[in-house]
Each structure stands twice: as C-alpha cells, then as structure tokens.
Structure 1
Amino acid sequence: MTGRSRMRLVVLGLSLSSSWGNGHATTYRALLRAFAARGHDVLFLERDVPWYAPHRDLPDPDFCRLVLYPDLAALDSWRAEIARADAVVVGSYVPQGVAVGEMVQEVARGATAFYDIDTPVTLAKLERGDEEYLSPAIIPGYDVYLSFTGGPTLERLERVYGSPAARQLYCSVDPEAYRPMDVPPRWDLSYLGTYSPDRQPALERLLLEPARRAPEMRFAVAGPQYPADIAWPANVERIEHLPPGEHAAFYTASRFTLNVTRADMIRAGYSPSVRLFEAGACGTPIISDIWDGIGTLLTPGEEILLAETPDAVLAALREMPEARRRAMSKALRGRVLGEHSAAHRAAELEMHLREAIGRRGRARRLAAAVGS
C-alpha cells in the first residue's frame, strides 16, 4: 500500500453469505469488496441461523474470510482476532447484538464502530424500549456510529444517545455487479424489494393502482415474503426471489423502476435505499416516493422522478419522450458512478475508522500522561 497502512478489520454483521430476505448482504458485499481492494484484511463473523442456511448465495467470498458461528458462546474462540484488530464493526440486526457489542467493547483494543443499516428503525425501536440488537447504554461505548441515515439524525445520535462521533455512511453499489445489460425490454415499471407492511401502501399507490389503470402496460414485483392474500393485477408479474446475480438484468429490462421507502425512514429523511444506486448504476430511470434529503443525492427531474400519486406515475410512463428517458438514464448512471459507488463508500469507511483510531490513541496518551 502507498501512503496507508494495512488495516485489520473484523465485522460482525447480520449476513454476508445470504441475500435472502435482507438488504444487508449486498450492502456488505459491495462495501467490503471495495474496502479489501484498498489493501485491507477483513474477517466477517456471521451468526449461523436456519432461515439463511438454504439460501447462501455467497458461501465463500474471495475478498474476505467468512466465518459462521453457531451461538454467542462460540464467539469466545474469536476473541484474539477481535482484540488485535485495528477496528471492529458490529452491524444492526445482529442476533443478541447488545451482548455482542458488550463483548466487543470489552475485548477490542482497536477502534469500535456500530454500523447501522437501519438507523430510523433502530431509533424507533429504542424509543419503544426495544433493545433487540442495540441499547442506549452501549452506544457511547462505540468510538463511532456509522449511520445509513444522514442529516439531523447524526446530531440526535450524539446529543440524545451520547455517541462520541456519529458519521453518515450511506449504502453504495458495486458497478461491476450492477451495470446495463443486453436484454430485451420486458416491463414498463418494476419494483424489487422484500415485503414490508409499511412500504405496502406506497407500492399499492405507485405500482398496483397504475397497473390496474393501464392494463396495456407490463409491471413486475420481485422479492420474498409477500402475503398470499394480496390481489395482484393480471399485468403484474410476481417473482418470489431474485438472486443478486439477476438484479442487473431485471433492472435493465425495465423502462422505469420504483423506489418506495419504509415509514421510519421517510420520517427521518436522508435515508436512501440501496435500490436507488443499484438501479441507477444499471441506467434504469427511477420513480420514487418523496422524503427529505433525496434531492441532495439525485437531482429531481433530471436524475430521478418523484411521485406521490398513481396519476403522476402514469404520466411518466405514458408521456415521457424516449429521448428524455434516455437522457435521464445517462445522467442518473453518471451521478451514481461519480458519487455513490462502493469504492467511494469504502474510502469514507476507511476515513471514519482511521479518525476513530486516532481519537482512541489520543485518549490513551492523555490518560497515560494524567496517570504518570
């Protein structure tokens, strides 16, 4: 490495091996592949849970070591690795995440970070007293809180919850995995995402109702866990699970794709979904619901379309000239590759971790000086 020392990073995350029913795996894959490409060593410790076992689409990554551990007690055998790492990251939704975080904070000699891929959901849970994977008590013990949400939430994490440093670390995209494909057009509007009750009203309003009103058009919804009682219009194709290797072809086969956002993330704002960047890297124009901060990521009307009603969606599908749609595709892809690639995000991660390492080192030196 030139000008940088090699970093030993340990990550304890929800999943790297399986993308089934979660957005964490593809996020970690893009970020850690790019982080490793910067010359760093990465160990990923993943809880071996039965619901991911049949769906492991990356059992042996080539950019890091992946270890599946059966239970909390089994993490004891990795204490030495955690202790000597330059930085240790614990992710949101890790099973028994509070106990995992307590162990990491006790053992790690390097910097510790909490990586929240679900920040608004996490904070809503904490307000309800739900400490499934994070508690207010352990937040100040993490040297840095890496948040999928930016904007005012960062100040709240520091002021209300006592984080020493809350830093924005948005999701990103791997341009090698997400790029335009040579496939025939198949759908006028698509959506890719796991079922969520608080996203379903927006999906109903911005895709299913337009489909009912435009029977001559073709639509698709891909993703698992949708209830059996949903009344899908005849022109909406359902795809139960789409492995990451097929995402790019899915997006490229769509004239437009839809982005809808969970209610907690709409309230917080500044919480982009990874589908914005993945579809954008494929050059597929996006129709999105509206939330604070979206204009800081992509320019409305030029790089993304915003819609609140079925009429607005149908106007885009029926009235946008093809030349403008192609211009939007080009502008969107250029913005995503220029600002939101995994390489950009890996550089930000390295910067945040090195700053945390530096702060920890200064604190130790000050404590030693006071004690001498």
Structure 2
Amino acid sequence: MKIAFYGSSLLSSYWNGAATYYRGVIRDLAARGHDVIFYEPEAYDRQAHNDIAPPDWARSRVYAATTDALNAVMDEAALADVVVKTSGVGVFDDELITGVMSRARPDAVRIFWDVDAPATLEEIRPQPGHPLRQALPALDLVLTYGGGPPVVAAYESLGARRCVPIYNALDPDTHHPVPPEPRFAADLSLLANRLPDRERRVEAFFLDAALRLPGQRFVLGGNGWADKPMSPNIRYIGHVPTRDHNAFNTSATAVLNIARDSMAATGYSPATRVFEAAGAGACLITDAWVGLELFLAEGIEVLVARDGADVAAHVAELTPARARAIGEAARLRICADHTYTRRGVEVDALLREETARRRAMVANA
C-alpha cells in the first residue's frame, strides 16, 4: 500500500521525541511491502539537527512552512491508499487534519495517529468545533502510542469509529548495548526535553534526588534546560542525538524515565526512552504509572519511584551487579515482547482489514 504520512519529522529527533517511534513503525511497514512517504515541515530548526540521513525504507518530503507548500503536499494525499495525520506536527495541525482527509480518495483509509493522546483529548474535549473533533466520525482509525483503555474509551465517546493503541517499542538494530563512554558517566542520568507538563515532575524526581545525594553524579540531557537552576552535582549536556542514545544509556549506573503529567495521570503510556534504555541493557528507574506491569516487572526488570526520595534511595542502594541484572532482565523482556516487528504486525493487520472494509463500503455505495 502507498501510505502518505504527515508528521513532525522523520529525519530529526530535535524537539521531536516521536522520531524513534515513527522510524521503528515505518521501517517495519516498509519491510512488509508498504511504500511510505513522510511529509515533514521546516519548523523548530529540526532540519538543521537531522540525526539520520534520508532512509532507503521511506521517502522523506520536507516542505516549507508556507500555505502554498502546504497545499502542494496535501494534494498528494489523493495518490495514497492510506492517509495518516499525526498529532503534534507543530505547524498547520488544524489545516492538515481537514485538508488531507478531504483530499483522500473515497477508498483510502483515513487515520489520525496520536503520539500524545492525553494532551490531545484535554484540548479537544471542551471544543465541539475543533477541527480534529469534527473529523473524527469520518476517520477509519485513531491510533495512539499510549493511553490504553481510558484513551480508547475517550476517543470513541467523542465520535471515533475505532481507537487502537500501538505502543512504543524497541528496534534492536538501533538501540542495543554498547561500551560505556566517559562523557556520559553518572550514577543517574535523565534524557528529557523541557516541556511545561514535564518540568514539575523533573524537579520532583530528578532535581530533588540530586539534592538528596550531593556526593553522587547526575547527568541531564535534552533541550531547554540551560537556564534551569540545578545543584552542583548535575551536569547538563544539552541535546543528545539519537546516534548517542545507546552510549548515554549504558554509561550510567541507572537511567531515569519521567512521564509527562498527562501521561502519568492516564497510564498505559510507556515513553520511547523506556524501550531505548531497556534495549541497551540499562537499569531503568521510572516514575509510577498504571499499566507498567504490561511492559516490565517492578523490582525485577525495572525500579519504580513515587517521588524524589524513592529515586534517591534506589540510586544510593544500587550496586553495579544489581544494576546489570535488572538491565539485562529488561532487555530480554523487551526483545521478546515489545519490538517494532511486533508492532508492525499489528499495524499491517489493521491496514489490511480497514482497506478491505473501506473498499467494500465504496463498492456497495
């Protein structure tokens, strides 16, 4: 099938945490014979920070953030068997959901793919006239990369015909164990962009833990933290390109995951970082959220913290041997149950099922 995929960026992870997810899913779909064109706008300086070359498993189409360029790429939706609009493109989000779906062929499958469902739902619930909410009844599928039963129920209550979670996963060819590097050495590291609905939790789980352990080393990576007050034992290193994530994850005794406010409240929302860290065999400490047990077993494959005091206690008590054991157990679990190959099977089946349904509906009209 020819898939037109309108998202934030395939080529850059800069201010774009969904990049790893897009790459994993699309690469597997390509291996199953699908032809994917990914349309990404020139926005947020992402193209100046590309961290992969244009791949051979998808065609990347970068377009200027202008109305003329937008209309040109939206017109190409008419050529596709499947039209996908993601959340969080960052520019022209409202225009895209209306424009690409209206241009799609009658027999084409129409999908909204939400990479931040709790935030999207919070935005559209009070707005009956929101373009996405208006579009929902005409879509074949809403796919989400997290949220579980609460998100499915919420989308269907707002008019979505069908909502299916396609969770984050691991590409073992991309994220795997590598030798540690001194530049990332730490007792605890965190990789997270500074966002309004994450900052408070970073303060509570990471900055507070560092204050409690002045003799331990902490490393913070991600965009936007340069002017944030931090204790002297935290080293801020800025944006970490995808190519360095393996070394980042293997060079600390433990790696911290912190969900955003909305995802923590909703649950069933494992971040990309969870799978990247597990794939590298890192010892992961995560904040607590409902549904974690579907992915990793607490105390065996992951350590769970309810606040900064818990994080500090884990770091203080963790021995290198136990950290290695937890990291290896997590790697084996994720490689067995949560790879993009498994997610690709799910998405491929959905696309074929919905294509057959759509074509039958058109034929019988």
SS at match of 1:146: strand
CA shift for structure 1 position 328: 1.3
Confirm whether residue 84 of structure 1 aligns to residue 79 of structure 2: yes
Q: In 2, Cα distance between the equivalents of 1:350 and 1:48?
A: 29
Distance in 1 of aligned mates of 2:230 and 2:248: 19
Bigger mean CA deviation after superposition, 140-149 or 246-255? 140-149
| Partner of residue 196, structure 1 | 195
Structure 1: which amino acid aligns with 2:137? P
TM-score with structure 2 length normalisation?
0.92
Greater mean deviation of Cα atoms: 193-202 or 255-264: 193-202
1:65 aligns with 2:59: yes
Matches of 1:79 and 1:256 in 2, distance apart? 44
- Match for residue 135 of structure 1 among 132, 135, 154: 132
The reply on whether 1:276 has 2:274 as its aligned counterpart is yes
In structure 2, stretches of 5+ residues that fail to align are: none
**One-letter amino acid of the counterpart of residue 183, structure 1:** P
1:135-188 deviation per Cα after TM superposition (whole angstroms, max 9, x unaligned): 210111221000122222102211x21111101111222211211111257111
- RMSD across aligned C-alpha pairs, in angstroms? 2.0
Q: State whether structure 2 residue 40 is matched by structure 1 residue 41.
A: no
Tell me, what secondary structure is at the counterpart of 1:23? coil
Which residue does 1:53 correspond to in 2?
47
- 227, 252, 255: which is aligned to 1:254? 252
TM-aligned CA distance change 1:255 to 1:115, over 3 Å: same
Identity %: 34
User: Which secondary structure does the structure 1 equivalent of 2:57 belong to?
Assistant: coil
Q: Deviations over 1:35-73 (max 9, x none)?
A: 212222111111122522322223522221111122343
Q: Distance in 1 between matches of 2:317 and 2:201?
A: 22
Q: 2:194 touches 2:224 (CA, 8 Å); kept in 1?
A: yes
Q: CA deviation at 1:222?
A: 0.1
Unaligned stretches of 5+ in structure 1? 1-6, 368-372
Q: 1:59 to 1:48 in 2, by over 3 A?
A: farther
Q: Return 55-64 or 337-346, whichever deviates more.
A: 55-64
Q: Is residue 18–residue 272 contact of structure 2 (8 Å, CA) maintained in 1?
A: no
Separation (CA, whole Å) in 2 of partners of 1:76 and 1:201: 39
Contact 2:181 2:247 in 1 (8 A): no
1:242–1:130 Cα change, 3 Å: farther
Name the SS of the counterpart of 2:336 in structure 1: helix
Distance in 1, Cα, partners of 2:87 & 2:181: 38
Of 344-353 and 253-262, more deviation after overlay is shown by: 344-353
1:220 aligns with 2:219: yes
Structure 1 length-normalised TM: 0.90
**Are the structure 2 counterparts of residues 72 and 142 from structure 1 closer, same or farther at C-alpha, using a change threshold of 3 Å?**
farther
State how 1:1-372 maps to structure 2 within 5 Å: 7-49=1-43, 51-70=45-64, 71-78=66-73, 81-94=76-89, 95-109=91-105, 110-129=108-127, 135-149=132-146, 150-158=148-156, 160-184=157-181, 186-226=185-225, 228=227, 230-367=228-365
Partner letter of residue 234 of structure 1? P
